[in-house]
A and B are shown apart, each in its own frame.
Chain A
Amino acid sequence: MASNSKTLRSPLQVARGLGSAKHGTEHWWSQRLTAIALVPLTVWFVFGVIRHLGADHAAFVAWMKSPFSAVMMILTAVVTFHHAQSGLQVVIEDYVHAEWQKMALIIGVKFLSFALAAACVLAVVKIFIGA
């Protein structure tokens, strides 16, 4: 098998197909994809926060009534929570070794992250379509 190969690695060391977890590089890739997306989103968010320091409710509502701002805020929240839960998953996998504690923490982090993201989306949508 692979007798003409230029590498000394045994073929058994190399993952076949998508590997034993059947996810391939999906987790790694989605972490990078969300990281790239968060570069412009973060810059937009920081400017937005600075412009609304100490703002009253009416000014904030007016900001979120703009379709562009509402879409950017929803993207910022959703992509941030997606990036956060995938990063926290890696941290938990690296430092928590008792199986049930690891699973409980990962499940907890993922449920909480997606719930909080949903709350952010609902909040922005409510302000956007509200009177």
Chain B
Amino acid sequence: MANGSGRPLSPHLQVYKLPLTAVMSITHRITGVGLAVGTLLLVWWLVAAAAGPEAFARAQGFIGSFFGLLLMLGWSAALYYHLCNGIRHLVWDAGKSFELTDADRNNKVVLGATAVLTVLTWIVGLAVW
């Protein structure tokens, strides 16, 4: 897009295809906010258990419902993503893995680990349930 100056423009986010590394960066934030909302279910679970058997049965019933399981699926995937990508952030904080080849490889490591851990958790979870 010409602005007459001949100088490069910043990427227009509407037309610019974000690289995977950028998508994964913003996904870390989105999953973080989602997990923060998800803590409400943790509070309900613990407070219901403290309140007594009826309240706890209601909370467990909600978690076991279709909508509850859907939320748990989303939160388990978000949790593993934020955990794996968070460890990657700690590696960056240690001053390592800044090369593009490292970033490309670690994108795949984080996505792969998230998928494997999520699927594994649900196989084990549904088996013991």
Partners in one complex: yes
Per the bound structure, the CA–CA distance linking A73 and B42 in Å amounts to 10
Question: Which chain B residues have a beta carbon within 8 Å of chain A's beta carbons?
Answer: 29, 32-33, 35-36, 39-40, 42-43, 46-47, 49-50, 52-53, 56-57, 60, 63-64, 76, 79, 83, 86-87, 89-90, 93, 121, 124-125, 128-129
Per the bound structure, the CA–CA distance linking A32 and B35 in Å amounts to 17
B84 to chain A, nearest CB (A): 10
Does A71 touch B at the CB level, under 8 Å?
no
Per the bound structure, the CA–CA distance linking A45 and B13 in Å amounts to 38
Q: Mask for A52-94, Cβ within 8 A of B = 1, else 0? A: 0111111011001000000001000100110010011001000
**Which of A9-17, A35-43, A100-108 binds B?**
A35-43
Per the bound structure, the CA–CA distance linking A32 and B121 in Å amounts to 26
Does A96 touch B at the CB level, under 8 Å?
no
Per the bound structure, the CA–CA distance linking A21 and B107 in Å amounts to 35
A64 to chain B, nearest CB (A): 7
Q: List 22 A-B contacts (CB under 8 A).
A: A32-B90, A36-B90, A38-B83, A39-B83, A39-B86, A51-B128, A55-B60, A58-B53, A60-B56, A80-B39, A84-B32, A88-B32, A88-B33, A88-B36, A116-B43, A119-B43, A120-B43, A122-B50, A123-B47, A123-B49, A123-B50, A124-B50
B88 to chain A, nearest CB (A): 11
Residue of B nearest to A85 (CB): B36
B60 to chain A, nearest CB (A): 6
